[in-house]
Amino acid sequence: MAPKWRELADRLAEKIRSGEYAPGDQLPQIRELVDAGEGSKSTVHAAYKALEAEGLVTSSRGHGTVVRQRAPLKRLGIARYDKVKWRDGDEVAFIADRVASGRAYRRNEQTQTVSRVKAPAVVAAAHGLPEGADVYARARLVKEGAQPTHTLTSYYRPEHVEGTRIVDPTPGPAGRGGGFRVLYDAGYEIDNMTEELFARVPSADEAKLLQLAPGEWVVELHRTTRTVDGTVVEFAIGVHAATRFAWSYDFKVPDSTKAEVEGENK
């Protein structure tokens, strides 16, 4: 037999999924359920904690326990990197899809700090540098209105960016066209990318920074950006609130018996 707190949680979850408790509604108070004979305060609390870990509700002292809004998934496709957006236009690649979807761009939705650091292992490996070599790190926290959605930290080799706007520590996007535009102006036109994704538990810092619900996971994205000759000009690590994004990729089914038309698809 399932524990009492699990049964209670399941009953409440069912009511939430059926719509009996709608998003924004408040669940019964813990003490009410104690009085109704659902168990002791600890038992009811355990049920509420389980519902919170499952992402169905958020609890807060003073407010009560409220059914969560299901934040719409934001779809990230490779069209967000379209050269038109950063080479020809006036948009910043990273926010271009938001503009395209009709949402207003507010300047403070991205904060940025640039610093010169010793390359961590994965960064060094991506750039083909020895571990601990100097690189520039450009760290951004991206928000959708007041809600932080993800962090994105780009790592550059000093010889690619020194003397450019990227190194300028002024907050805000890296100027017109963003980081790709700066690299383009410096003679490094990006040509192809590799993105690698995996899910993991957030660190305590990340949970706080991204305002994650307890138990919520993150998706870490590693993006390696290269010029046409294969030089890695940017390696970026993104940490995304897992519930707020979906990623989409289109590709041809590879056929290694044919000469490859393009260098990628490995």
Partner DNA sequence: TAGTGGTCTAGACCACTTC
Partner DNA sequence: AAGTGGTCTAGACCACTAA
Chain position carrying tokens 């070599």: 133
The binder of 265, among a copy of itself, DNA, none, by C-beta within 5 to 8 A per type, is a copy of itself
Nearest to 112 by CA among 193, 182, 185: 182
> Of the two residues 37 and 72, which places its CB atom closer to DNA in the complex?
37
The binder of 65, among a copy of itself, DNA, none, by C-beta within 5 to 8 A per type, is DNA
The binder of 184, among DNA, a copy of itself, none, by C-beta within 5 to 8 A per type, is none
The binder of 249, among a copy of itself, DNA, none, by C-beta within 5 to 8 A per type, is a copy of itself
Contacts of residue 118, defined as CB under 8 A and 6 or more positions apart, other chains included, come to: 132, 133, 134, 135
Q: How far is the CB of 217 from a copy of itself (least distance, A)?
A: 5
CA–CA distance from 101 to each of 76, 80, 105, 111, 150 (Å)? 12, 11, 11, 21, 18
The binder of 261, among a copy of itself, DNA, none, by C-beta within 5 to 8 A per type, is a copy of itself
The residues of the shown chain that bind a copy of itself, judged by CB under 8 A, are: 10, 42, 53-55, 73, 75, 77-79, 81-84, 88, 190-201, 204, 215, 217, 219, 225, 242-243, 245-257, 261-262, 264-266
> Of the two residues 62 and 130, which places its CB atom closer to DNA in the complex?
62
Contact criterion met (CB below 8 Å) for 14 and 27: no
Return the C-alpha torsion angle 106, 107, 111, 115, nearest 10.
150
> Of the two residues 46 and 167, which places its CB atom closer to DNA in the complex?
46
> Of the two residues 121 and 251, which places its CB atom closer to a copy of itself in the complex?
251
Contact criterion met (CB below 8 Å) for 164 and 70: no
